[in-house]
Amino acid sequence: MRLMPDSQIHYSEDEMQENVADYLSRRTFLSSEPYHKRRIIPKIYREVRILKIGRISDIILYITDRKIINIECKRENYGVVFEQAKDHLKWADYSYICLPSETYLPAYILDKMINLGIGLLFWHPDYFVEVLQSGYNKDKDKSIREYVIAELKKRDSYINAINQNNNQLSFHAY
């Protein structure tokens, strides 16, 4: 259910994901080392297919091996996005739902999110707010998590190969 009519929503779900990923790419996170805090720039992945759970993750923030965050974005249909975020708890350290700021969310869905430790983000083209913080997920399936990490590393290798190839092409250009 939306509080605003369709005519006032002027963005696609893809634009929403892109905006959220762009915002998060400009943020840094602090390491959890007790005596030497350092700033970490997360790796951000979009639209990652996770075959082991039959889902596609909208946004993955890979901060460290021990801090991987999943974010599911939807313009509407909070029931579907809740199920998606819940499924991603099988491998992610933290799972969030991201909805447009004008979205109505019933109390029973919020209760379920709190009980499972799923966080809530509200997005608007002009701002981004963490409404409900995600809890740390202790009950991950190691095999699914290792599979996801391997998929992310494959993406990194592929992107690095393309960048290396582009650098070689530009170096040899006359």
Predicted confidence band of residue 4 (pLDDT cuts 50, 70, 90): very low
pLDDT in tens, 13-59: 898 899 899 888 888 888 777 787 788 888 999 999 999 999 999 99
pLDDT of residue 1: 45
More confident residue, 118 or 76: 118
The answer as to whether 53 is a domain residue is yes
Max CA distance (Å), the chain: 64
The answer as to whether 125 is a domain residue is yes
The answer as to whether 10 is a domain residue is yes
pLDDT of residue 162: 76
Confirm if 61 and 95 have CB atoms less than 8 A apart: no
More confident residue, 78 or 108: 108
The answer as to whether 84 is a domain residue is yes
Q: Based on the structure, what is the number of domains in the chain?
A: 1
The answer as to whether 66 is a domain residue is yes
In this prediction the pTM is 0.83
CATH of the domain at 113: 3.40.1350
The answer as to whether 1 is a domain residue is no
Q: Which domain holds residue 144?
A: 6-172
The answer as to whether 135 is a domain residue is yes
pLDDT of residue 7: 39
The answer as to whether 110 is a domain residue is yes
Predicted confidence band of residue 5 (pLDDT cuts 50, 70, 90): very low
Average pLDDT over residues 156-162: 80
